[in-house]
């Protein structure tokens, strides 16, 4: 991480580090992290902080009876949103007191990230803040987000932010030293993987849950985040955020946990955004053909090849293309709504079909991202 010239790093800190006892924010672990940020900036590095913890920080403001399991799901959801609102200001104030330079708050939903215009606006804002030596502190906007609009965890959010900011490195703090070949809490012979050069099914199989009862992201979401980041060429570190030595090692150019090497051939920026940030709103099942293996083949998809349309989506929405055997082929932008696409696919009259499709293909050719045939949890979620 040492560099003579400026480069950007994203640091993700979880709820268990912010409010370990759910009694408001604590400096127990944050002081070492804040010192790391200060020292990074002293080396000429530009830092973006992705900080969880608003709900955990605000929980103590509400009586325990309000969090009783007998409370309805709707009331519990409203309570969590209120906790986030109360805790966000406390969390920002806690971070702010550690620094003698200004900070800025950025609250995001997935709806902000998947909209191209808003996505570009986010990266412009982050860049402008960094140019003026202001520390951006990013969190998901839990107060207003819904199931349809939420990222769901700040591990994946940090990877999306790192890609948007064109960061060189992403550091994700965990409650263990890194990725092990098996759960180290349950297996004494578990071995730490110091470096991962390829994220595949075997790496996902090693991802266990987190022992933290405060945060929402376990090792699985950290691997998902690493996969997003490395495909953009971003070196990603999973380190133990509870150990001060982790941050000292990073500043010395050492990896204290697991390093996921960024790709030497990163995806083009727009293609990466479309693949790893935009979420599919529905699925189109197509007949299995050996020809559908390129973006051009997807763009030339005919109505005869469409077997089924799943979900409800509008013209211009992102869809997932699958073969009839379940293989994921691509994410793409549909030129038709799900209702009209179903209608076209059911027609036997070629002239009628041509009247719909002679000017526009079924799939928008400018927005097609081919996917790996072997699905991973991250790709299914995207």
pLDDT per residue over 87-131, tens digit each?
Answer: 999 999 999 999 999 999 999 999 999 899 999 999 999 999 999
Q: Which of 53-67, 148-162, 240-254 has the lowest mean pLDDT?
A: 53-67
What would the mean pLDDT of 367-373 be, rounded to a whole number? 75
Dmax (CA) for the chain in angstroms is 71
Q: Please tell me whether 351 is known to bind a ligand.
A: no
Q: What is the pTM of this model?
A: 0.84
Choose among 151, 157, 154, 155: nearest CA to 179: 155
Q: Please tell me whether 221 is known to bind a ligand.
A: yes
What would the mean pLDDT of 277-281 be, rounded to a whole number? 89
Q: Please tell me whether 213 is known to bind a ligand.
A: no
pLDDT per residue over 196-231, tens digit each?
Answer: 999 988 898 888 644 444 444 489 999 999 999 999
Dist CA 71 CA 130 (whole Å)? 44
Q: What proportion of the chain, given as a percentage, has pLDDT over 70? A: 86
What order of strands is seen across the sheet that includes strand 282-286?
306-310, 282-286, 318-323, 328-334, 363-370
Q: Please tell me whether 312 is known to bind a ligand.
A: no
- 50 — pLDDT class (breaks 50, 70, 90): very high
- 74 — pLDDT class (breaks 50, 70, 90): confident
pLDDT above 90 for 293: no
Q: Please tell me whether 175 is known to bind a ligand.
A: yes
Superfamily, domain 280-381: PUA domain (2.30.130.10)
What would the mean pLDDT of 176-196 be, rounded to a whole number? 91
Question: Is the separation of the CB atoms in 301 and 341 below 8 Å?
Answer: no
Q: Please tell me whether 179 is known to bind a ligand.
A: no
Q: Please tell me whether 248 is known to bind a ligand.
A: no
SS (H, E, C) 185-251: CCCCCCCECCEECCCCHHHHHHCCCCCCCCCCCCHHHHHHHHHHHHCCCCEEEEEECCCHHHHHHHH
Q: Please tell me whether 217 is known to bind a ligand.
A: yes
Q: Please tell me whether 374 is known to bind a ligand.
A: no
Q: Which two tokens stand for residue 348?
A: 């036997």
Q: Please tell me whether 187 is known to bind a ligand.
A: no
Q: Please tell me whether 310 is known to bind a ligand.
A: no
Q: What is the pLDDT of residue 377?
A: 38
Query: Structural domain boundaries of the chain?
Result: 8-272, 280-381
CATH, domain range 8-272:
3.40.1160.10
């Amino acid at each position: 991480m040492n560099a003579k010239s400026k480069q950007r790093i994203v640091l993700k800190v979880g709820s268990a580090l912010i409010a370990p006892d759910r009694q408001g924010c604590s400096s127990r672990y944050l002081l070492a992290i804040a010192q790391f940020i200060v020292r990074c900036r002293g080396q000429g590095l530009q830092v973006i902080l992705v900080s969880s913890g608003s709900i955990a920080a605000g929980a103590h403001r509400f009586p325990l009876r309000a969090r009783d399991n007998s409370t309805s799901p709707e009331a519990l959801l409203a309570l969590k949103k209120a906790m986030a609102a109360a805790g966000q200001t406390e969390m920002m104030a806690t971070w702010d007191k550690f620094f003698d330079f200004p900070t800025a708050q950025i609250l995001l939903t997935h709806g902000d990230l998947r909209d191209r215009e808003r996505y570009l606006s986010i990266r412009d804002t982050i860049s402008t803040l960094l140019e003026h030596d202001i520390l951006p502190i990013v969190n998901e906007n839990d107060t207003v987000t819904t199931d349809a609009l939420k990222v769901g965890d700040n591990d994946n959010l940090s990877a999306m932010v790192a890609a948007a900011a064109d960061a060189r490195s992403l550091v994700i703090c965990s409650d263990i030293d890194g990725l092990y070949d098996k759960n180290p809490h349950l297996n004494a012979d578990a071995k730490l993987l110091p470096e991962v050069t390829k994220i595949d099914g075997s790496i996902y199989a090693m991802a266990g849950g987190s022992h933290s009862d405060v945060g929402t992201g376990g090792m699985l979401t950290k691997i998902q985040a690493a996969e997003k980041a490395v495909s953009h060429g971003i070196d990603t570190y999973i380190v133990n955020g509870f150990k001060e030595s982790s941050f000292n090692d990073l500043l010395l150019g050492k990896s204290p946990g697991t390093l996921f090497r960024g790709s030497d051939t990163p995806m083009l920026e727009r293609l990466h955004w479309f693949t790893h940030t935009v979420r599919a709103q529905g699925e189109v099942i197509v007949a299995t053909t050996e020809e559908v293996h390129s973006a051009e083949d997807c763009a030339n998809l005919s109505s005869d090849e469409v077997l089924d349309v799943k979900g409800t989506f509008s013209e211009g929405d992102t869809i997932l293309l699958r073969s009839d055997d379940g293989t994921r082929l691509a994410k793409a932008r549909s030129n038709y709504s799900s209702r009209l696409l179903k209608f076209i696919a059911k027609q036997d009259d070629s002239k009628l079909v041509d009247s719909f499709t002679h000017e526009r293909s079924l799939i928008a050719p400018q927005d097609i991202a081919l996917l790996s045939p072997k699905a991973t949890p991250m790709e299914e979620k995207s």
